Amino acid sequence: MQRYLMNFSTETMRTKRAELLVIGSGVAGLQAAWTAARAGCHVLLVVRDTLWDSNTNKAQGGIAASFGEDDNPELHVQDTLVAGAGLSDEQITRIVTSEGPDDIRRLIEHGAKFDRNADGTLALGREGCHSRSRIVHAKGDATGAEVARALNDMAAGEEKIEVLEHCYVVDLLTEAGRCYGVTALQAGEKICLRAGAVILATGGCGRLFAKTTNPEGATGSGTAMAYRAGAEVMDMEFVQFHPTALALAGCPNFLISEAVRGAGALLRNLRGDRFMPRYHKMAELAPRDVVARCIFQEMQQENADHVWLDARSIGRASQKFPMIARTCREYGVDIDAQMIPIAPAAHYMMGGVKTDAWGRTNLDGLYACGEAACTGLQGANRLASNSLLEGLVFGRRSAKAAVQALKTQPRVPALEWTYGGLHMAEQQKTAACTQQVQETMSRFLGIRRDRNGIRQALQLLQKLEAQQVGTEAATAAGFDLRGRLLLARLIAQAALRREESRGAHFRTDYPEKQERWLQHFTDCSIEEGQSIEGKGENAHGYDVQSGQAAFGMA
């Protein structure tokens, strides 16, 4: 594996310095930047495109939190553990469910406007695998946009936050197990961004797949660069496929929120028959992995490319979900009068850079939060609307930990890298290779997997990786391709190793859960059939209390 993707010398590159570097402008990155700035830290917020280009801005369903009179954090914990299929860390889950409501209240205090009932209380929706109505939402189906707006306004009010847009981060700068900043590409120029600590909030990797609800920037670049730098990654085999993405020729894979099913929409096959009650007692509100597999099976049985989501029974669905209704209308579907054609699409990465309860990685000075991180909360299958909540909680926590650590500034070494025999990659070949990665992942590492398919995927990915050796891709697309290839291989290796079906990871050759696999894995190099003894860690292996004591934070 090539350590750095481009030649550089920090002595000669244009350099920009800050106390804290935050990479990414989704909910986790904005929360981290704001928290650190409020603590008096000079923050450089680095964004690949613009502040508004993030998964957060696209999020529809809402934020899960126990605000209802019949609800409490412990009930939220239990629902999260059920959805996580045995791999959600209980202590981490309690931190998120207990601290999250205060983070939402803080957003409201700073101007976030969520939907309310006539008596002024928060209007709470219901989504899959939740035992209570606890989904806080805005404008029906535009929650992420409202959260992003509020956080952007909060960040704009902080003089200590400096924003650097249209800047593609290429690699983390490390020496002797410590992170000192990053190399980046801006307007074709190689630059160096120096900081005492770096927080990765770069989002997920849905764009590894041909069909995804994620925006263009969701390529997993942050997770890939962390792995190249020596950071541990965990749970890479667990990629969640959202059950209901709009499935019409020529239209994007637009997400149809789970809240639509929570409001009463039904899933029907092409014959018009409702099918979910045949598969699960919770029917349309079963865990996402279950619903996605059932839809996939119905599609296979009918040799179809979609099933139907019937929102007609909701009554005035277009008023409750205006953004969804508007998008469907653009493609000729009236959700009040017609059924919506839907199919599963890659949606969320449960795995990522392994962190502790304060966002710390195994590299000094490097923190991670949001979808790029793996805290142990999501387990094998994320509970609906827990992602924005996790981003708020761990954006704040990672910032607090980073600011505390900055009290002792490290000596910054000069670093350089020269990779011999470089030649430039051709843009046309980069685009073709990117498409091959997406087709390979969708075909062999989608909703259903098996040994033969995963092995074929690994062979193809390794061949594509070998073709990139000795090239320097001086564009964001070229660097992204390197990250995609690495991340795709890590996912495939992890999927081959886990010889069972759990949560979003379903092996047709090992269709049942097995107790011996009730653990997380950080060693992505384990070969198939190799003993797993000593290679993983218990599903509840985080020492959360020691993390709290070390920082003196409640």
**449-495 tens-digit pLDDT:** 999 999 999 999 999 988 876 666 668 888 899 999 999 999 999 99
pLDDT for 423 beyond 60: no
What does the alpha-carbon distance between residue 254 and residue 256 come to, in Å, rounded to a whole number?
7
The band of 274, judged by pLDDT with boundaries at 50, 70 and 90, is very high
**170-203 tens-digit pLDDT:** 999 999 999 999 999 999 899 999 999 999 999 9
Within 13 A of 430's CA, how many CA atoms are on the CB side?
18
Amino acid at position 230, single letter: G
* For the chain, percent of residues with pLDDT exceeding 70: 91
The DSSP element (H or E) to which 81 belongs, if any, is: helix 73-83
**296-350 tens-digit pLDDT:** 999 999 999 999 999 998 989 999 999 999 999 999 999 999 999 999 999 999 9
Give me the active site residues, please.
288
**35-72 tens-digit pLDDT:** 999 999 999 999 999 887 777 877 777 999 999 999 99
Question: For residue 323, how many other CB atoms are within 10 A of its CB?
Answer: 17
Nearest Cα neighbor of 540 from 91, 96, 95 is 91
**228-250 tens-digit pLDDT:** 999 999 999 999 999 999 999 88
DSSP per residue, 192-245: EEEEEEEEE-----GGGSSSBSS-TT-S-HHHHHHHHTT--EE-TT-EEEEEEE
Question: For residue 354, how many other CB atoms are within 10 A of its CB?
Answer: 23
